[in-house]
Structure 1
Amino acid sequence: MPLSTLIQRSSQPSPSLSEAQAHALLRSHYDLQGELQALGSQQDLNLRVDSEQGRFVLKACHGSYAEVELQAQHAALAYLREHGLPVPKVRPANNGADLLALEIDGQPLRVRLLDYIDGEPLTRLKHMPARLMAELGGLCAQVDKALAGFDHPGLARTLQWDPQHAVALVEHLLPVLTDPQRREQVAALAQQAAQALAPLVDTLPQQAVHLDITDDNVVWARDAQREWQLQGVIDFGDLLRTWRIADLSVTCTALLHHVEGDPLRILPAIAAYQAHNPLLEAELRALWPLMQLRAAVLVLSGEQQLAIDPHNDYIRNNITHEWEIFDTASALPAALVEAAILHAAGVTPHSADFSTSLPLLPAIAGHPVNLVDLGVLSPHCEAGNWEQPGFDQRLLAAQPAPASTLHGQYRLSQTHIDRPEEPATCALGVELHVLPGTAVQAPEAGVWQRIDAQRGCLRTAHWSLWLDGLEAAPDDGQTLQRGQALGASCGFLRVQLCLDSHLRPPFFAVPSHAAAWLALCPSPQALLGFACDAPPLADPQALLARREASFARSQKHYYAQPPHIERGWRNYLIDMQGRSYLDMLNNVAVLGHGHPRMAAESARQWSLVNTNSRFHYAAIAEFSERLLEVAPPGFDRVFLVNSGTEANDLAIRLAWAYSGGRDLLSVLEAYHGWSVATDAISTSIADNPKALETRPDWVHPVEAPNTFRGRFRGADSAADYLRDVDAKLADLDARGRQLAGMICEPVYGNAGGISLPPGYLREAYAKVRQRGGVCIADEVQVGYGRLGEYFWGFEEQGVVPDIITMAKGMGNGQPLGAVITRREIAEALEAEGYFFSSAGGSPVSCRIGMAVLDVMRDEGLWDNARDVGRYFKARLQGLVDKYPLAGAAHGSGFYLGLELVRDRQTLEPASEETMTLCNRLRDLGIFMQPTGDYLNILKIKPPMCTSKASVDYFVDSVERILNEGL
């Protein structure tokens, strides 16, 4: 088909067919009747048919389409079905033909009927995870691999979407753009892409391709876990023979409106394609220019079709994201995207040869140089000093000259907080501290491009060298010979190589772009004469494999692919590439991470002595006294242990010893620890799916007084829930069993911080004490000031227990737990033998425990938990008021929960949505995990130094994700 016919065809509106005509056609040619629904198309007419015989798609196109082209599509569908690919089947008409040539209202049409594949396209998906991009790329590869063996006469066609005609089509359609700025942008991008593509076209393999495997033409459906699963590929209207790489270029171009302006987010699709159907290096190099040309054709074709067919809603709705695709295709330098594509495909490009280059700084080449570590684990970084402006340069200047930073190092100073985007942390060059006046020479001949008095670029035949910190630099445009003076150093010199002379690279790159930028900006060590490369980071996947090969797998980790975390500061955890994650779930680190007081206290005490509590030292007496000061009056004895599990286990033993009984009441949906005894009283099925089947006969769970989703709801439900307490106690009374006591979290921790109904513990405690039992308040998670409004959780209920257990934040991460009780209860255990915990109450733990109390007081963390906690709760309540999925905000202070439900009436838990939300929050730089028996509650327990700014970032991010859709 000549180009003139191509252009004429690209200017046709969709066929016109009334609903009555469509019904008549279906009845007369297919014996079908049913409801019709219009499906979008740019130049064809597609109608979904819902009939008793099934669901179909009626497709009508202009009669100018050659029959052999449509028969090629039908043959390809049958061929791909034989190869196990999910594509529709063509349904023959009553006369046995799979293609009808009709004329309706003088309109020549070609009509066929196909099976409808249930599901939905992902075109309007507001956030597309990398997994789906990879699946789309892998699918494209599988279709191409299958079609490599397919041939048909109808493949030899001229199509407007064939990239072999893209340059001519762009030139023809450019006048449809009335905005001169836009017209110039499209022309410039197309010209740039055509120039890059020209040397490659003769090496590109050709075959049959679908040419439209996009988010619009691949159908998906959610499974029971609400994960998208592939259902099938539709719309073979662009099938033809052309370059193989064209198919992937179409797929990747369609993904550009899902990447929020960052083209490199499509790399998982490319890597997945390469894994299934390896491409030649020439094809990989052609991919980005083909995508740019496709983007240009998309916007031009869309604007033209809208002018021809202004009432076509499908075209109108696509225009916005087609321009988004175009702008994204222009967002990054082509050389960078090419380097990223090659890296994703596992292809290593040729590197530059510096073997004949002279040293940039002859005076220091070959001499020892002090290398300055500015990475995430640098010993120079402590107590947040890296946040100070100019930190790197001051540290470098403090080293004896010559000194150098490291190329390719992820610098801690470049991190940022409470922002969704990655920080640019990877250094693409080095900074040097040298003696002022140190001579700088041209390593190779080139032209000097002057930026200002101290900055410029030496452009050689094969690379460019960017320098900052020169005295007496050459004039702009001056040609320099190899070895000619470039000037002298000011004492601080920044050096950066770039293999693409058209680029002015940034000095820092974001981690996801780092591999591509490092390919373009290699180490300058060959020009400097000393090694200045940062050591490679540990492979997080290999490290995770080592963990799983040696560390018992029942000890789980957060996330399927967890970030590698080795540093923290305040309410942030920092990965090895310098990204700071807002820590919204770490209730152990109450003071925040990396607190200098903790480091100082532990280091000093370790330097003196650390031993067990049977020795006599001051710290154990001092810390015990401090704990009794924060306990209610009447509490006068302390046991020190290492964890909440040990504290609760010891509390059970105390209850047994004091009461003489063994039977304990515990509360459903609660978690108290992992030891044999504490696991026995734990009933949270999220922690132990068999929790309700494995209770020993001395444990008597009572109904959970969950005022949100329990059997009885609301603040006045205490009496209803107490009936189950009465029933359990009556049963024990009838059997003559001595009650040992009752253990309960005063605020429902694992259920997201839900308050118990007022009066519940007052009445329950009275009933237990009436029978000689003791009341244990498990404050491990909710106590110690975290609630903001109360120091202890039991204060909210207006009661005082007999035994208090605590741990978690007591040591800010140091293993530390405690049991506080009265003398008569404590001494009851002594009659049964001694109690001893080898490390419980060690000097180091006691000193850290006291320091935690000091810091919480001195830094106002209890007040912060109250004040910021109130603000936090109000903001969460705002989500509940606005979004049906946000069912309730629980808790207070910095012990909060946001419960997600699919239905406000039935309270069906939105478990899968909650996990999706948590994973998406991680993408935005926030750590969050689900809790509750249904894992549908956000477990919000951040360090108590958390600020309002961090609260706003967290809640805004949750709202953003709710708006994206779960």
Structure 2
Amino acid sequence: MIVSEQYLKELLHKHYNMEKLSSIEKILGYEDQNFLIQDAEGKKLIAKVTTDLLDPYFLEAQLKAMAHLRKKDKNIRIQNVLANSDGGAYTVLEVDGNILYLRVLSYLDGTFMGDLKDCPSEVIDSLGTTLANMDLYLKDFSHPAAYRFTEWDLAQVMTCRDYLQKIKDHEKRTMVDYFLLQYEMEVMPLQHQLRKAVIHNDANDYNVLVKDGQVSGIIDFGDMVESQLINNIAIACTYVMFKKQDPLSAAQTLLKSYHRIYPLTETELSVLYYLIAARLCKSVTTSALQRSKSENVHHFISEKDAWTLLYQWIKINPLYAQNQFNLCCGYATVLGHEERDLALKTERKQVVGTNLSISYQKNLKITRGALQYLYDDKGDTYIDCVNNVSHVGHCHPVVVKTMQKQLVKLNTNTRYLHDSLVTYAKMLTATLPPKLNVCYFCNSGSEANDLAIRISRHFTKQKDVIVLDHAYHGTSTVAMELSPYKFDSKGGSGQQPYIHKGMNPDLYRGHYRYGDEHAGEKYAEDIADIIKQLSDKGTGIAAFICETLLGVGGQIPLPDGYLKAVYSHVRAAGGLCIADEVQVGFGRVGEKFWGFELQGVEPDIVVLGKPIGNGHPLAAVVLTEEIAAAFNNGLEYFNTYGGNPVSMETGIAVMNVISEEELQQRALETGNYLIEGLKKLMEKHVIIGDVRGKGLFVGAELVRNRETLEPAVPEIDVVVEQMRDRGFLISTDGPFHNVLKIKPPMVFNIENAASFLTNLDEVLGGL
């Protein structure tokens, strides 16, 4: 029921003896109908009308809490409750079958904190003091109605998952889902250790009034609840951080003033980062839900600021935030230190093979991952520009929850029937050419390449395999034999007589270069020559294997027509064509789902690895029915955990995320932006000799001289280290280790790319 100003005037006259009112003005509210009233003497009051109140007893609880606070401190900055003519704190009316609840409160002068262009530190300090006093005074307050369920209680924030699909933007929805997962893992196990009390629960930017640089009032006890005390502080921290370049500093100011009056515990501070994120998640999911059923602008008043802060928040290392919270409250640091890392490295050398290298001169101890971000133990945040293994992002919530759900049910071998094995195989083969319709599952790309070669040798009755120079196909014995990158390197075992190296089809520094429209066919002739040489010796070939974009070989897209010509030569000689899609597949190249599609060919066998399980040990070999039938020769193929239920559910989740979040399109758009930006830097910095790639498979080759193509080493190592210091993790590849390798998780966005380009520009300019 909508209450008019005239009708309210009549009610106030009848029930509050207000005879002369100079004005009544309806003002915005979240749920109640609110009115600003003014009497003939200019005194202002607030009238609130509530309809369809589900729990009248809770209204009484709010008013009793306010009275309790007023009794503790008559100058406390909350509203007074005006009694009606019967002495009651509120008035209950029945009008046309509707029950109305009317109350009148004193008016608090001031500007809403949310309307300030920039909330100054003295206001934030004042809010911390005010809130601490309120919490301290409410410490001994209780009321049965406060022990209730409300979705705005941060202890109940997981209800947000019910509304996630209301957030239409994929990136935003995933970020919210990520933070809810972290809340589940980090906060919920500690809830029983957190102090509880009746709290205001909504010190948001439009419930806090400011005047003369101080908080003049906190209004609206409608979200009051018995909950964890730290939730109250988390909510206040959230809103003082709005519109801040350095949001963490604002939170520290509030915490410091709060802690002086009502000390917080270290355990409470340890979960504050995720509680702030939880409040933001609640705010944005509620806004998304309300869009479908409300036109009340008050429901969306903080939405833009909340999203902005969420994007800022995920870039802040949770350990760094916890450390800052600790320090401002007088507790010890929680950050790692060099001595601890030195001890860890010493222990690592004692128990782990020393030829397992550690990246970067200043080694990193990464403690957490968040989609495209990595956090270390020193409090630093890094944008991951190189870990293509985490294809859909580190700790992607959909993938993690799927793995957890299956892991608590069953994980066993494939000698038992399981639906997800068939489901995933169907999903996978549906993305491939129709003839590639049989799957074998294993645990790594190395194992998959090993199996692919074994199958090809069985099918052709030949042993010889052609690979490309500088290629890398894995760490098993057979995979190492396929990898010139390994067997030709220091300590390598050397080339086996049945392995043959084809020319690396490099259009930048190879025999045939950019501008030669027939370069693909010319490079393919090198493979034909190898086949002929073998044929002249009476030897056939089992297979030709290559990545469909060359990774370790230098981040090289294959020349147009190359695979079409090569596959023709190989098949004419009775060999099989194997596409290594371990680093390339699943939409990374943007234009197509698989790298071989860029070449307009259909392999006989496709090998899948790294991205298939988002870092979970899962890989696959997909082949034709004919080849699979020949391999089924009576000798069983069995892989204990290849195709296990957890792996299959993980693979399904990854495929669903790629599709539902349109990550192939993201790779195309972000990749195009990144490559174009790198080409502009190439015009400015002569050290960049070549930029190449497709989608989010990108390389930039650094040279000292564009004519001689002398590799820019060690200059490239300086670039990598300085970019690391600026928060960007990249690596090098190529035969001369002079190619910047850029293959980030698929959630890497244009903002990340723009920041990367800006910093790379500055680093190159300083060489």
Tell me the secondary structure at the aligned position of residue 714 of structure 2.
helix
Residues 107-126 of structure 1: matches in 2 within 5 Å?
A: none
Q: Which amino acid aligns with 2:696?
A: F
1:705 maps to 505
| Secondary structure of residue in 2 paired with 1:608 | coil
8 Å CA contact 1:664–1:699 kept in 2: the answer is yes
Task: Kindly report the root-mean-square deviation, in angstroms, between the aligned alpha carbons of the 2 structures.
Answer: 4.2
**Partner residue in 1 for 2:754:** 952
How far is 1:384 from its partner? 3.0
Pick from 589, 592, 595: which aligns with 2:393? Answer: 592
In the TM superposition, residue 827 of structure 1 has moved relative to its aligned partner by 2.5
Give the counterpart letter for 1:633 in structure 2: P
CA distance in 2, matches of 1:514, 1:597: 25
- In the alignment, what sits opposite 2:674? 872
CA separation of 1:745 and 1:559: change in aligned 2, threshold 3 A: same
Q: State the alpha-carbon separation in 2 of the partners of residues 687 and 728 from structure 1.
A: 19
Contact (CA 8 Å) 1:403, 1:432: kept in 2 or not? no
Q: Does 1:835 align with 2:637?
A: yes
Structure 2 residue 592 is the aligned partner of structure 1 residue 797:
no
Q: Which letter does structure 2 place at the counterpart of 1:617?
A: H
Tell me by how many angstroms 1:685 deviates: 5.4
Alignment of 1:165-180 (within 5 A): none
Match of 2:577 among 756, 775, 778: 775
CA distance in 2, matches of 1:661, 1:901: 42
Q: Give the partner amino acid of 2:384.
A: D
SS in structure 2 at match of 1:819:
strand
Query: Aligned pair in 2 of structure 1 residues 900, 825: CA closer, same or farther (>3 Å)?
Result: same
Query: Where in structure 2 are the equivalents of 1:423-572 lying within 5 Å?
Result: 524=330, 533=332, 537=336, 539-572=340-373
- Map Cα deviations across residues 779-816 of structure 1 (whole Å, 9 max, x no partner): 11111110001211111211111000011111111111
State the Cα distance separating 1:439 from its structure 2 match: 8.0
Q: Deviation of residue 711 (structure 1)?
A: 2.4
The one-letter code of the counterpart of 2:716 is: T
For 1:632, give the aligned amino acid.
Answer: P
2:490 match: 689
Closer/same/farther in 2, CA of residues 845 and 387 from structure 1, 3 Å limit: closer
Choose the corresponding residue for 1:645, options 443, 446, 468.
446
Q: State the one-letter code of the partner of 2:351.
A: S
Equivalent residue, structure 2, for 1:659: 460
Give me the TM-score of the superposition, normalised by structure 2. 0.60
- After superposition, what is the alpha-carbon deviation per residue over 1:58-82, rounded to whole angstroms, capped at 9, x for unaligned? xxxxxxxxxxxxxxxxxxxxxxxxx
Q: Which has the higher contact order (CA 8 A, sep 6+)?
A: 2
Distance change >3 Å, CA 516–CA 655, structure 1 → 2: closer
Aligned partners of 2:441 and 2:642 also within 8 Å: yes
C-alpha displacement of 1:699: 0.4
Instruction: Look up the match of 2:430.
Output: 629
Q: Corresponding residue for 1:903?
A: 705
Q: Does the residue aligned with 2:374 lie in a helix, a strand or coil?
A: strand
Aligned partner of 1:816 in structure 2 is 618
Where 1:383 maps in the other structure, the secondary structure is helix
Asked whether the equivalents of residues 570 and 594 of structure 1 are also in contact (C-alpha less than 8 Å), the reply is yes
In 2: Cα distance, 1:514 partner to 1:606 partner = 32
Partner of 2:551: 749
1:891 to 693, 697, 717: 693
Q: 1:386 to 1:799 in 2, by over 3 A?
A: closer
Matched, 1:764 2:559: no
What is the identity, as a one-letter code, of the residue corresponding to 1:798? G
- Counterpart residue identity of residue 946, structure 1: F
Paired AA for residue 364 in structure 2: P
Give me the whole-angstrom Cα distance separating, in 1, the residues matched to 2:570 and 2:320: 63
Which position in structure 1 is the counterpart of 2:24?
A: none
Deviation at 1:767, TM superposition (A): 1.3
Counterpart of 1:573? 374
Q: Distance in 2 between matches of 1:385 and 1:906?
A: 54
What are the Cα deviations for residues 669-699 of structure 1, in whole angstroms up to 9, with x where unaligned? 11000111110010125994355x6111110
Q: Which residue of 2 aligns with 1:20?
A: none
Distance 2:554 2:643 in 1: 30
Given the alignment of the two structures, is residue 384 of structure 1 paired with residue 186 of structure 2, yes or no?
no
Is the 2:488–2:494 Cα contact (8 Å) retained in structure 1? no
Task: State the partner residue of 1:675.
Answer: 476
Q: Could you tell me whether the CA contact under 8 Å between 1:592 and 1:945 is conserved in 2?
A: yes
SS of residue paired to 1:684:
helix
Give matches, 1:390-409, under 5 Å. Answer: 400=227
- Residue 918 of structure 1 deviates from its aligned partner by 0.7
Task: Output the CA distance in 2 between the equivalents of 1:949 and 1:795.
Answer: 29
For the residue of structure 2 that corresponds to 1:850, the secondary structure is helix
Deviation of 1:433 (Å): 8.1
Note if contact 2:241-2:251 (Cα within 8 Å) is conserved in structure 1.
Answer: no
Letter matched to residue 471 of structure 2: A
Q: Kindly tell me: are residues 384 and 562 of structure 1, through their superposed partners in 2, closer, same or farther at Cα, counting changes over 3 Å? A: farther
Number of residues paired by the alignment?
Answer: 507
Q: Which one has the bigger helix percentage?
A: 2
Deviation at 1:599, TM superposition (A): 1.7
- Provide the rounded CA distance (Å) in 1 between the counterparts of 2:677 and 2:733: 20
Alpha-carbon offset, residue 405 of structure 1: 12
Contact between 1:768 and 1:775, CA under 8 Å: does it hold in 2? yes
**Aligned 8 A contact 2:450 2:478 in 1:** yes
Larger Rg over CA atoms? 1
Amino acid at match of 2:668: R
Distance 2:488 2:373 in 1: 26
What secondary structure is seen at the aligned counterpart in 2 of 1:710?
coil
Query: 908-917 or 746-755, which moves further after superposition?
Result: 746-755
Q: How far off its partner does 1:911 sit?
A: 2.3
Q: Match for 2:533 among 731, 745, 753?
A: 731
Please name the residue that 1:922 is paired with. Answer: 724
CA distance in 2, matches of 1:514, 1:596: 22
Return the alpha-carbon distance in structure 2 between the equivalents of residues 679 and 414 of structure 1: 56
Cα offset, 1:430, TM superposition: 5.2
1:225-252 per-residue CA deviation (whole Å, 9 max, x = no partner) reads xxxxxxxxxxxxxxxxxxxxxxxxxxxx
Q: 2-side partners of 1:964 and 1:606: how far apart?
A: 50
Q: Deviations over 1:341-396 (max 9, x none)?
A: xxxxxxxxxxxxxxxxxxx98999xxxxxxx99xxxxxxx97136999xx999799
Amino acid at match of 1:654: I
Q: Distance in 1 between matches of 2:239 and 2:467?
A: 49
Provide the rounded CA distance (Å) in 1 between the counterparts of 2:622 and 2:509: 33
| Pairing 1:91-240 to 2, within 5 Å after superposition | none
Query: Is contact 1:663-1:740 (8 Å) kept?
Result: yes
Q: CA deviation at 1:653?
A: 0.3
Q: Which letter does structure 1 place at the counterpart of 2:658?
A: M
Listed as ranges, the gaps of 5+ residues in structure 2 are: 1-134, 140-153, 156-175, 188-193, 195-199, 204-223, 264-315
TM-score of the superposed pair, with normalisation by structure 1: 0.48
CA contact under 8 A between 1:889 and 1:896: conserved in structure 2? yes
Instruction: For residue 856 of structure 1, give the secondary structure of its aligned residue in structure 2.
Output: helix
- Conservation of the 8 A alpha-carbon contact between 1:422 and 1:579: no
CA distance in 2 between partners of 1:671 and 1:395 (Å)? 57
- Counterpart residue number, 2:172: none
Change (3 A) 1:860 1:517: closer
Kept after mapping to 1: 8 A contact 2:372/2:394: yes
CA distance 1:582–1:736, change in 2 (3 Å): same
Deviations 1:506-526 (A, max 9, x none): xxx99999999999x7865xx
Counterpart residue type for residue 815 of structure 1: P
Shift in CA distance, 676/387, structure 1 to aligned 2, threshold 3 Å: closer
- Mapped contact 1:423–1:578 kept (Cα < 8 A): no
